[in-house]
């Protein structure tokens, strides 16, 4: 693979190869043919290939145009002696026509501004998706997958009821059945997961849907919701729904491992 290829293209290529590998295994009924001659060796090769691809994909994600990493690398270079050890190598950050040795945080901002000059629409979108992907936890990826078909899930906030019956202090936000539906490993962290996904713009909240009343009743028996209810004298439940946003749908379409 050429080093001149943009990192985003490399990342897309590795993801595509991983998807093709998984697709081949599914199409050939890989799990059901292990006893055939030579299949055990083929399985080892596939697993080894998958590990290599995932390892490389993880490395690419860790390094994808990280401006702070680039700035720290530049700062480190400033203090390295040249070949004869007499003086440090000059390392600079170029921003438009300004040339200066900057602190890592300022240099990182300069890197981002430099990117904004050279990026086209597709490259900018790819960069955005890569940065979002780096921030997701496995459980959050599961939740996004469950929401990817556009289906709404019930969501509940728990607040302390005021003397006038209104919602006062909130003790829990964004509890939802989508966590258990998606099989997350930490069900008690679902409110936090959804709060982060909302903050990233991948998920949105909407009004209560009466057709989901049964699911709301189930949600109110959730341990996290019950604990929040016990923490106030009188609880008020604010019912809403959670669904994937426009950005979330576009992001999922670009990253969906089952596509391609």
Q: Could you tell me if residue 241 is inside a domain?
A: yes
Q: Could you tell me if residue 70 is inside a domain?
A: no
Looking at the structure of the chain, the number of domains it has is 1
The answer to whether residue 7 scores a pLDDT higher than 60 is: no
Which of 32-41, 76-85, 99-108, 168-177 has maximum average pLDDT?
Answer: 168-177
How many Å from the N-terminal Cα to the C-terminal Cα in the chain?
21
Task: Kindly give the interhelix angle for 7-27 and 39-63, rounded to the nearest 10 degrees.
Answer: 150
Two structure tokens written together for 110: 């300069």
The pLDDT of residue 260: 63
Position with higher pLDDT, 93 vs 59: 59
Q: Is residue 142 a contact partner of residue 184, using CB atoms and an 8 Å limit? A: yes
Beta bridge partners of 206: 241
Residue 240, domain CATH: 3.30.110.190
Q: Could you tell me if residue 209 is inside a domain?
A: yes
Q: Which domain holds residue 247?
A: 133-255
pLDDT digits (tens, 9 = 90+) for 36-46: 444 455 455 54
Q: Could you tell me if residue 92 is inside a domain?
A: no
As a whole number of angstroms, the distance between CA 50 and CA 38 comes to 19
The pLDDT of residue 69: 58
Q: Could you tell me if residue 229 is inside a domain?
A: yes
pLDDT digits (tens, 9 = 90+) for 71-90: 555 555 544 555 555 544 43
Q: Enumerate the H helices of 138-222 as residue ranges.
A: 138-147, 178-182, 190-199, 213-220
The answer to whether residue 15 scores a pLDDT higher than 70 is: no
Q: Is residue 104 a contact partner of residue 75, using CB atoms and an 8 Å limit? A: yes
Q: Could you tell me if residue 250 is inside a domain?
A: yes
The pLDDT of residue 236: 93
DSSP 90: P
Q: Is residue 177 a contact partner of residue 219, using CB atoms and an 8 Å limit? A: yes
The answer to whether residue 235 scores a pLDDT higher than 50 is: yes
The pLDDT of residue 145: 96
Q: Could you tell me if residue 90 is inside a domain?
A: no
Q: Could you tell me if residue 51 is inside a domain?
A: no
Three-state secondary structure call for residue 173:
strand
């Amino acid at each position: 693979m050429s080093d001149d290829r943009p990192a985003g293209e490399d990342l897309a290529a590795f993801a595509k190869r991983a998807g093709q590998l998984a697709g081949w295994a599914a199409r050939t009924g890989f799990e059901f043919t292990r006893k055939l001659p030579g299949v055990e060796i083929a399985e080892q090769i596939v697993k080894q290939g998958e590990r290599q691809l995932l390892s490389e994909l993880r490395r690419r994600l860790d390094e994808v145009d990280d401006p702070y990493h680039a700035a720290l690398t530049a700062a480190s270079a400033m203090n390295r002696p040249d070949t004869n050890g007499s003086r440090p190598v000059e390392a600079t950050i170029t921003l438009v026509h300004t040339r200066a040795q900057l602190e890592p945080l300022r240099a990182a901002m300069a890197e981002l501004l430099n990117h904004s000059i050279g990026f086209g629409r597709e490259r900018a979108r790819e960069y955005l998706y890569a940065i979002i992907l780096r921030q997701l936890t496995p459980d959050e990826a599961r939740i996004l997958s469950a929401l990817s078909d556009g289906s709404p899930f019930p969501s509940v906030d728990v607040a302390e009821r005021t003397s006038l019956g209104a919602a006062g202090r909130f003790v829990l936000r964004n509890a939802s059945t989508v966590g258990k539906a998606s099989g997350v490993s930490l069900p008690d962290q679902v409110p936090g997961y959804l709060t982060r996904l909302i903050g990233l713009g991948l998920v949105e909240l909407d009004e209560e849907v009466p057709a989901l009343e049964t699911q709301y009743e189930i949600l109110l028996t959730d341990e996290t919701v019950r604990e929040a209810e016990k923490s106030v004298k009188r609880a008020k439940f604010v019912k809403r729904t959670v669904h994937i946003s426009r950005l979330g749908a576009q992001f999922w379409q670009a990253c969906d491992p089952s596509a391609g």
